Amino acid sequence: MRVHYKHTSRILLALDCIIFGFDGEELNLLLIKRNFEPEYGKWSLMGGFLGEQEDLEEASRRILYNLTGLDSNYLEQFQTFGAVDRDPVERTVSVSYYALVNIEEQDGNAIRAHNASWISLKNRPALIFDHDSIVDAALQRLRYKAALHPLGFELLPEKFTIPQLQKLYEAIYDTSLDRRNFSRKILSTGLLQSTGEKDANSVTKKAQLFTLNTEEYLKFQNGFFNFLPELTLAESI
């Protein structure tokens, strides 16, 4: 016979996904315009509830795929939100994950079919419930991790230029970085492999295309990594 704990009320466990993408100029969020109550017609993070037979990451990946058609190589749990009044319908605790996806690899039609849109982080609309606070916390976590680990590459296409990489980190940190220092530092890591090709879309047509050195990347994933010469770790937190 199955044993149950005695309790007088239930608490729902939700999973919210903060999905970051980079459009070449700005950091973007994938948001959904709700077509159901509560807060019909307002903007929201991707979210859903934990199934009885799911673990947390499994549920988060299911929600991400079902609502957007996306699979993400990088998905990280970062914080739990449990204010008593955070959801006006029922007492709900949210375990939040952030995902990093390459916008160029995604099917725009599939995303739109799920009533979702990529929106600039700087121009994001007001979100429902406590979702704005969740996004702010996710951004702080991303900035912290990006200073230590080369996870920013998850947001880039397979081939990229150093100026594109610099724009990405300037977008993440909302700051300007010195071009020469950045280029010198990133090349010294051994993370980049030259493809021998040039970027046809570059204004000067001299920008070299690089790809990620996967072997070196795997070495850095679990180690200390700080290649942002103008940002200290304290500033990134």
For 15-32, what is the mean pLDDT? 95
pLDDT at 230: 54
Q: Is the dihedral of CA 104, 106, 107, 111 positive or negative?
A: negative
Instruction: Encode pLDDT of 74-93 as tens digits.
Output: 999 999 999 999 999 999 99
Higher pLDDT, 154 or 3: 154
Instruction: Encode pLDDT of 30-69 as tens digits.
Output: 999 998 899 999 999 999 999 999 999 999 999 888 877 7
pLDDT at 15: 96
How does DSSP assign 35-79, residue by residue? -SSSSTTSEE-EEEE--TT--HHHHHHHHHHHHH----SEEEEEE
| pTM attached to this predicted model | 0.88
For 151-179, what is the mean pLDDT? 92
Higher pLDDT, 196 or 7: 196
pLDDT higher than 60, residue 211:
yes
pLDDT higher than 70, residue 176:
yes
Q: Domain boundaries in the chain?
A: 12-145, 151-236
pLDDT at 232: 47
As a whole-number percent, the residues of the chain with pLDDT over 90 amount to 56
pLDDT at 18: 96
Looking at the DSSP bridge assignments, the partners of residue 96 are 16, 79
Per-chain mean pLDDT for the chain: 87
pLDDT at 136: 97
pLDDT higher than 70, residue 71:
yes
Per CATH, which fold does 12-145 belong to?
Nucleoside Triphosphate Pyrophosphohydrolase (3.90.79)
pLDDT higher than 60, residue 16:
yes
CB 50, CB 13: distance < 8 Å? yes
151-236 CATH, one of 1.10.10.10, 2.170.190.11, 3.40.50.360, 1.25.10.10: 1.10.10.10
